[in-house]
Amino acid sequence: MGDTTSQRSSAILETTPELPLFDLRLREQDLQAVAEVLRSGWLTMGPRTKAFEEAFAAQLGARHAVAVSSCTAALHLAYLAAGVGPGDEVIVPSFTFAATANAVLYCGATPVFAEIVSRERPSLDPEDVERRITPRTKAVCVVHYAGYPAAVDRLRELCDARGLQLIEDVAHAPSATLAGRKLGTWGLAGTFSFFSNKVLSVGEGGLLCTDSDEVAALARSRRSHAMTSGTWDRHEGRTDTYDVVGLGYNYRLDEPRSALLLSRLEHMEEDIARRRELSARYHRLLGEIPGLIVPFAGSDLADSSCYVMAVMLEREGLQAQVARRMREQGIQTSIFYPSIHRFSAYRERFPDLSLPITELASQTELTLPLFPHMSDADQDRVVDALAQALELEAGQ
């Protein structure tokens, strides 16, 4: 393992399967960057957060990057910046993590769930989005599922034509592109996640990017209780006092995580390059297994950040059994994602909503292990175990 540290070697995670879904490996320089902050004695948002924001914005090609405590917080601020409030509707996919829709509810607005295109292309369907627009629709939020670009160009045209704001949930897709343009820069704002299993992970953290000076100003203000100055400004003697000029939140990121992000950002492209290699190999090997659909097969992986490796079992009713057989082989799988509208809290709000393509995807999807230091042999184990599990289940 050399000069790195890994979750896999941690004694606290004794229950981790031999081959986990995701494994984080930090470099010695990452540990040093954090140790330096801890020794500095300044831990809340300050100069390292600013340095990280500048580096991230430059890499993305966006005018502004505002670091926050999570992607959920960034989504909340993005919806507020889009003017979303009580009585409004925001069109979102249901085939995503709950945060995409929850943040709409934080604004007192209603999420309107739209379909994905297909199991082969499980991204928001622009045609279904168009069908669901009403006079109350304020915004559309597109998710770049698994790191692969959704049809954000068509959604942009649609939103422009209908006077709607477009938000990109880019939690899965740092550095991914469509037509040479980075994801996250197509709409009013893009929201990134640095949660522990993400491409750029530090445990918890998020970021809102935007080209709009007004949106950036709103996000900067609201992430810290809409105070006119921060603790760092006062520490630096720039001002002694502050006013509170709106309803804000504590969505600040802290300095240890900013330092870790800054350090890890230097290697993000290298990590993504390895993810692409592994995903290309997965696509090739999995494409030969009968009974499987491989989403985004044939797409250009250079456009994707290859965040997770999703497969869909052609037949319904096998998901739990195949996952169980894989776990018995020491391989962790997951479901990205159960449909949001089928969760108890959402079913109460939308008891009659039916989204057949999304529901079928949720019932047949399995997410396979993928992380940059995974070996080809690890991958072969996953592919063989999956092929065997499917064969056994098909014979039942």
- Cβ atoms within 10 A of the Cβ of 15, count? 5
Nearer to ligand PLP by Cβ, of 260 and 292: the residue is 260
Nearer to ligand PLP by Cβ, of 69 and 389: the residue is 69
Nearer to ligand PLP by Cβ, of 96 and 210: the residue is 96
Nearer to ligand PLP by Cβ, of 265 and 289: the residue is 265
Going by their DSSP bridges, the two strands 177-178 and 165-169 should be labelled as unpaired
| CB of 21 vs ligand PLP, minimal distance in Å | 13
| CB of 15 vs ligand PLP, minimal distance in Å | 21
d(CA 72, CA 90): 15
| CB of 342 vs ligand PLP, minimal distance in Å | 17
Nearer to ligand PLP by Cβ, of 305 and 325: the residue is 305
Structure tokens at 21: 């879904």
- Tell me whether residue 198 is one of the annotated catalytic residues: yes
| CB of 364 vs ligand PLP, minimal distance in Å | 19
Please pick, among 50, 138, 182, 198, the residue that the annotation labels catalytic: 198
Angle between helices 376-394 and 268-286 (to 10 degrees): 40
| CB of 72 vs ligand PLP, minimal distance in Å | 3
| CB of 247 vs ligand PLP, minimal distance in Å | 20
Nearer to ligand PLP by Cβ, of 256 and 292: the residue is 256
Which chain residues interact with ligand PLP by CB under 6 A? 70-72, 96-97, 99-100, 143, 169, 171-172, 193, 195, 206
d(CA 332, CA 15): 11
Going by their DSSP bridges, the two strands 309-313 and 365-368 should be labelled as antiparallel
Kindly tell me the burial class for residue 180, based on how many C-beta atoms sit within 10 Å of its own C-beta (0-12, 13-18, 19 or more): exposed
What strand order describes the sheet that includes 309-313? Answer: 292-293, 309-313, 365-368
User: So which residues are the catalytic ones?
Assistant: 198
